[in-house]
Amino acid sequence: MSTVLRPSWHFTTADRWLNDPNGLVYHDGTYHLFFQSNPSEATWGEMSWGHATSTDLVHWTDLGTAIPASAEEMVFSGSAVVDTENTAGFGAGAMVAVYTSSYRAPSPRAGVQAQSLAISNDGGTTWRRYEGNPVLDVGASEFRDPYVFRHQDHWVMVVAESTNHRLDIYTSGDLRSWTLASTVGPAWVTGGLWECPALVSVPTADGERTWALLLSVNPGGPTGGSGSLYVLGDFDGYAFVPEAGDEPRWLDHGHDYYAPVAWGNVPDGRALTIAWADSWQYARDLPPAPWRGAMSLVRELDVVTGPDGRRQLRQRPVLGSDSSGSVSVSRMTLPCGAGTLLDITVTDDARTEELVLNVDGDARTLTVDRSRCGTMPSAATAVRATAPLPPVEELDVTIVVDGSVVEVFAADGTVTFCERLMATSPLTQLEVLDVGQRV
């Protein structure tokens, strides 16, 4: 992949592998993004936590490796918190990472996944492992991705039993001793692994708040590869109860949106998420440039009521003000009633490669087609992604093109797509074509 297609607003490392976002935490005016990373090369392996920071959620500084793998464990996904009340005894204001230890030989726990702690007393610059690790070990081989947050007077952990298609909710007073409070599942999508859960407090249009349970599945996503779901419901600090009759819905309908998690301590109360803008179906096969892997844009979530009366998540991108170079942002309002059939094409200057968005008013669908936008790895089994649209006569669409990543936000942010592209030159031209008015 040519360096000309490195994104600007979608975080990438300088020269190494990147996948799931981890440890999202706000501290002293800075947003911290930790992530799964191989410190030495652009392929999966020796999984460690990389570290990046931002003050605007758009421009990120890569700080290298924060928590490296050791001889006995790889450092899998997890979260981070600021322990302002010193509940764990590591010092007031300590930053505490809660991560999955994926043990390997020569560890006596080889083959086990358990939850462990690392501590920083300098705002995330340096880290040390807790000498009492692991803090939660049930002897399981597929038990990972703790999402930890403060709820009133205690800590909550949501962690995945990946092959059992179950989420466990634990509570703790000190981050070191955990008690199982409740479970979610098995239910919903059970054809692939359950990973990277998050339980997020989200504002609603009427000024209240509700809870969204985010869950990633691999495979079994909307296009056959990996994907991410959400369910709205209530949470009392110990158990999550889905809204009556609510079924999981895709958080994103594209090929490349996985492991979304949220900053849990943003002072203004916004629900902010970020995801890995790739798919496990082919991420290892994408050519390094020399980086491999990208993050999505940060998205701000809230809950709105759809035309069918159901509450649903709305996602709006956090954008920069310096749209230039690899980045273009296009906003438009299009007809979407009966008989409408439109193509939105985004092409390179030579018009040899193009991404096509199709609006079908009769079928009430929006389709993103990347079949003519470079050659995807052979493992990519689908080149088109389709989402249902609400029954509206006009459709608002925002398209963010940033190097090799495109994100689409439609229907007031209730329909989204995230796509990685293999185009060999930047996509700079946009055109709307009426491809057939039906009668």
pLDDT 10s digits, 101-117:
999 999 999 999 999 99
Q: Please tell me the pTM assigned to this model.
A: 0.96
CATH 2.115.10.20 fits 13-317, yes or no: yes
- Of 15, 20, 56, 369, which residue is the catalytic one? 20
Asked if residue 330 lies in contact with residue 402, where contact means CB atoms within 8 angstroms, the answer is no
**Which pLDDT belongs to residue 190?**
80
- DSSP result, 329-371: EEEEEEE-STT-EEEEEEE-TTSSSEEEEEEETTTTEEEEE-T
**Which pLDDT belongs to residue 298?**
99
Closest CA to 175 of 119, 110, 219: 119
Q: How many helices (H) and strands (E) does the chain have?
A: 0, 30
Verify whether residue 20 is a known catalytic residue. yes
Average pLDDT of the residues in 189-210: 94
Average pLDDT of the residues in 67-72: 98
Q: How confident is the model at residue 323 (pLDDT cuts 50, 70, 90)?
A: low
Asked if residue 278 lies in contact with residue 287, where contact means CB atoms within 8 angstroms, the answer is no
Task: Please name the residues in contact with 237: beta carbons below 8 A apart, sequence gap of 6 or more.
Answer: 151, 152, 154, 156, 171
Asked if residue 174 lies in contact with residue 168, where contact means CB atoms within 8 angstroms, the answer is no
Asked if residue 129 lies in contact with residue 73, where contact means CB atoms within 8 angstroms, the answer is no
**Which pLDDT belongs to residue 277?**
98
Give the Å distances, CA to CA, from 283 to 64, 376, 377.
21, 10, 9
The separation between the first and the last C-alpha atoms of the chain, rounded to the nearest angstrom, is 44
144-186 pLDDT tens trace: 999 999 999 999 999 999 999 999 999 999 999 999 999 999 8
Asked if residue 292 lies in contact with residue 279, where contact means CB atoms within 8 angstroms, the answer is no
**Which pLDDT belongs to residue 439?**
35
**Which pLDDT belongs to residue 424?**
86
User: CA 219, CA 210: separation in Å to the nearest integer?
Assistant: 28
Is the pLDDT reported for residue 438 higher than 70? Answer: no
**Which pLDDT belongs to residue 367?**
98
User: CA 119, CA 14: separation in Å to the nearest integer?
Assistant: 26
Residue 392 CB-density burial (10 A; 0-12 exposed, 13-18 middle, 19+ buried): middle
Q: What are the structural domain ranges in the chain?
A: 13-317, 327-434
Q: Is 91 left (phi over 0), alpha (psi -120 to 50) or beta?
A: left
User: CA 55, CA 65: separation in Å to the nearest integer?
Assistant: 19
DSSP letter for 296, please.
P
Is the pLDDT reported for residue 318 higher than 80? Answer: yes
User: CA 77, CA 36: separation in Å to the nearest integer?
Assistant: 7
Is the pLDDT reported for residue 329 higher than 60? Answer: yes
Q: What is 327-434's CATH number, 2.40.50.140, 3.30.420.40, 2.60.120.560, 1.20.140.10?
A: 2.60.120.560
Sign of CA dihedral 88, 91, 93, 96: negative
Q: How confident is the model at residue 4 (pLDDT cuts 50, 70, 90)?
A: low
Q: How confident is the model at residue 8 (pLDDT cuts 50, 70, 90)?
A: very high
Give the Å distances, CA to CA, from 107 to 77, 101, 132, 185, 421.
19, 11, 15, 31, 41
Average pLDDT score over the chain? 94
